[in-house]
Structure 1
Amino acid sequence: MEIIDSFLLGLIQGLTEFLPISSSGHLVLAEQLLGTKLDKSITFEVVVHFGTLCSIIIYYRRHIADILSSLWQLVANPAEFSNKISTDSNIKLTGFILLSMLPAMIVGLTLEEVITNIFNDPVTVSAMLLVTGTILFATRFRDQFTKDVTAGSAFGIGLAQAFAILPGISRSGSTISLGLYLGIKRKKVANFSFLMVIPVIGGAMLLKIFEMIELGVSFDALLVLIVGFVTSFISGYFALKYLIILLSKKGIHPFSWYCWAVGIVGLIYFW
């Protein structure tokens, strides 16, 4: 892979990871258009996901610091567990995040090979983008957002995240949309959607790091990874910031038109 390809794919990953238009789907389509086959041994796709993970951590640094502080207090005073779990919002949030991870972990461990094969099909990606557009558009008919995240809604959002493993189905679009369907406050469901993905991406990246150490990475490949990481990190941060602002003012349904347009063009072009 050339440096320019790494830059373009990192930019696409950063912009589309948080905007509800499917980062994985766009990477597949971009790969086809660029005529570039990503070298899976250097785990480029996971590295650019790690770039966007870092942008989440920077953007939510205060939330994360509060969560870690509460967890540390719990570890230091385990006798307070029953009290903390019912009164500390950060401990509750941590439990909800762990609960939301279960569906994606199960689907990822059992269907990873099948999903990987689907990822290579741009026609499937284009069709799934049409589905994403429909999911987003349906949120415009929901106008009451008064609820908080609960254990039940957290698990449901986790199921939406597992569904988004399919190429062309937006993870942020699916999880935020379901939260909006359930009437959860816009900012709270957005925060939960992005915080819940931290351990998922972090765990996947940790596994790939061991693989990279075992296989080794050439200097040229390392440069490609660095360019992809930095590009996805910077573009991801600003995409996340923009989405939170847009969600608070208008919602996410305007992105449905973009998903439909790309899906239709993709079907016509790759059929």
Structure 2
Amino acid sequence: MTDLLAALLLGIIEGITEFLPISSTGHLLIAERWLGHRSDLFNVAIQAGAILAVVLIYWKRLWGMLLAFIGRDAPADFDPLGVPTPPAQSREYAYKLAAAFAVTAAGGLLVKKLGWMLPDTVQPIAWALVLGGVWMMLAEQLAARRAAREGERTAIAWRTALLVGLAQIVAGVFPGTSRSAATIFVALLAGTTSRAAATEFAFLVGIPTMFAATGYELLATWRDGGMAGEDWSALGVAFLASAVTAFVAVKWLLRFIQGHRFTAFAVYRVLLGAALLLWLPTGQ
């Protein structure tokens, strides 16, 4: 298999799994056993490609928040209901996204400095898949009961935003957890009973998070003199493949959650994690 084809497949895998709550890190690590190990810059860059897809999907939402900062209403067609969001609400939402990102950035730098990171081996990722799947099933039941009592709540509270920021740190420390799963379900358990609203916030907060991570890795690679050793053609192919497939995956997921729960993803995680634990010798 050529290196470009391997990079293309890795980009497709990243694009499909980054926003589905099934752990892109876990799937990439498994795929790299056959397609070849890649640099940290490569892995972060293809994640940025997937995040670019979210920017394209939510560009009206993002532009509306930008307009809010200068006190202007977004056009009516920027809202699916045809009712523009008041600037004050858009500004507050943007501040909450910024707060969640700030928590992640500060905590992420601290975690990296202290070296709090599980090894990128299959066994701990398999356990994270299993335990995360079980947690998703329990969390969805609790969220559904809360929604039945309180009705659908779409608002993102400040506490929810800060907890989502912490959830991103946990997902970074425990490979296989899934950033999207951690952030979506923390938002649901923290009081946002609407799956669509929780998913949207989780996706949007990933934009600054992953772009910042890409910039950090680029700077670190440049300082270490690793730029010359990077296969930029393969990285470019994987970046584009990730962006295109992520666009399709996110569009599909946003339609799917309108009438379905996340249970199928939880079951998939448990089955995949269990298969990995049975298939691989301890420690691999």
Q: 2:170 is matched with which residue: 141, 158, 163?
A: 163
Q: In the alignment, which residue of structure 2 is the partner of 1:90?
A: 90
Residue 146 of structure 1 aligns to which amino acid in structure 2?
A: E
- Which letter does structure 2 place at the counterpart of 1:234? V
The answer for the alignment partner of 2:217 in structure 1 is 208
**In 1: Cα distance, 2:168 partner to 2:39 partner:** 26
CA distance in 1, matches of 2:276, 2:260: 27
Which consecutive residues of structure 1, in runs of 5 or more, have no partner in the other structure? Answer: 75-85
Cα drift, residue 93 of structure 1: 0.8
User: What does 1:64-213 correspond to in 2, within 5 Å?
Assistant: 64-73=62-71, 88-112=88-112, 114=115, 118-138=118-138, 139-143=140-144, 144=147, 145-147=151-153, 148-165=155-172, 166-184=174-192, 185-213=194-222
Report if the CA contact (8 A) 2:180-2:202 is conserved. yes
Distance 1:200 1:152, change over 3 A: same
Q: 1:80-136: CA deviations, max 9, x gaps?
A: xxxxxx9611111111112212332233212227355x3421100000001221122
Q: 2:51 aligns with which of 24, 30, 53?
A: 53
- Gapped runs of 5+ residues in structure 2? 73-85
Q: Distance in 2 between matches of 1:204 and 1:19?
A: 20
Task: Confirm or deny: 8 A CA contact 2:19 2:246 kept in the other structure.
Answer: yes
Aligned residue in 2 for 1:78: none
Alignment match of 2:264 (pick from 246, 254, 268):
254
CA contact (8 A) 2:67 2:87 kept: no
CA displacement at 1:4 relative to structure 2? 1.8
Return the structure number with greater helix share.
1
Report if the CA contact (8 A) 1:135-1:177 is conserved. Answer: no
Other-structure match for 2:79: none
How far has the Cα of 1:181 moved from its partner?
Answer: 2.3
The percentage of aligned residue pairs carrying the same residue is: 24
Range 176-185 or range 154-163, more displaced: 176-185
For residues 115 and 235 of structure 1, the distance between their equivalents in structure 2, rounded to whole angstroms, comes to 32
Taking the TM superposition and a 5 Å limit, the aligned residue runs for 1:5-24 are 5-24=6-25
Give the alignment's TM-score, normalised by structure 2: 0.83
> Which whole-Å CA distance do the structure 2 matches of 1:196 and 1:221 have between them?
29
TM-score, structure 1 normalization: 0.86
